[in-house]
Structure formats: C-alpha cells, structure tokens
Amino acid sequence: MSEFEDMYREVILDHYKNPRNYGSLEEPHAHAEGQNPLCGDEVAISVRFGGDGETIEDVRFEGRGCAISQAATSMLTDLVKGRKAADVATLPKEELLEEVGIQLTPIRLKCAILGLGVLKVALHRAKGTPLPDEWQGLDFA
C-alpha cells in the first residue's frame, strides 16, 4: 500500500467518517456558508466567541461533498478552537494543508481550503473587517 493511501485511510477517512465538531450552534457570533461550484462541495460554519469576544470558544460545521473537503474542514475546527479570531482570519492556508498532509492536485486544493475560506468569511463578517482578495470568489452565501 502506498504512503498516499495510508494517509488517506488514516487521516482523511477518519475525519470524513467521524467528523469533529459537526453540527451547528444556536445564535452563533459568526456564521457563513459556502460552496465550491466546480464540484458541489458545501460547508456551513458557526462560531461562538468567549467572554473576551475574541477567542474562538466553540466552532461547528455542517456540509456535504468529497472526503477532502469535509475532512479538511473537520481538521480546521480542531485547529482553530481556542485561538483568537484575528489570528484565524489571517491564518495561512499552508498551516491547514500541513494538517491535511497529502499531496493535492490544484482541483483538490480548492476542496481542501473551502472550509477555511468559509471560516474566514464568517470571522471577517463578524468583525467588520474586509475579506482579503485571495479568499474572494468562492460561492459564499
């Protein structure tokens, strides 16, 4: 079995079949939905901040689509919990891709960062800050 397949089985499929922080939050402080029009992947993310209004106390996601898009979003929720909204709003995609861990083709790259894009939209919207250009263009609701 190849290293690629090992990673897919152990990491991607684990998160795909047992997504972390799956669901939604009632009255979230930040929320956004997005989809990748090329493949139909969909992700919705809700965030609740702690008492300081900055720390991500809870984050949940719902979605459907390929294993990469859903697994990467699941990993993302683990990655950002407990961090400051401002840090996550500027989180480089490389940090998430390192978690994903497998070599991705350009099309799959879009699947992998869909959740991160949606989260950034939610946070920038909640904080009233402009979304950086590189994150424009996904089909955000």
Partner 1 sequence: MTLYGPPPDRRAGIVSFNVEGIHPHDVAQFLDRDAIAIRAAHHCCQPLMRRLHVDATNRASFYLYNVPEEVDRLAAGVRHVIEVFA
Q: How far is the CB of 31 from partner 1 (least distance, A)?
A: 23
Contact residues for partner 1 (CB under 8 A)? Answer: 2, 4-5, 8-9, 13, 37-40, 64-68, 105, 107-108, 111
Distance between CA atoms of 46 and 42, rounded to whole angstroms? Answer: 14
Based on CB atoms, which residue is closest to partner 1, 9 or 53?
A: 9
- List Cβ<8 Å contacts ≥24 apart for 25-32: 25/58, 25/60, 29/53, 29/126, 30/85, 30/122, 30/123, 30/125, 30/126, 31/122, 32/118, 32/119, 32/121, 32/122, 32/125, 32/140, 32/141
CB of 39 to partner 1, least distance (A): 4
Question: Cβ 6 to partner 1, closest distance in Å?
Answer: 10
Which of residues 21 and 35 has its CB atom nearest to partner 1 in the complex?
35
Q: Least distance to partner 1 from the beta carbon of 61, Å?
A: 17
Please say which residue, 28 or 35, places its beta carbon nearer to partner 1.
35
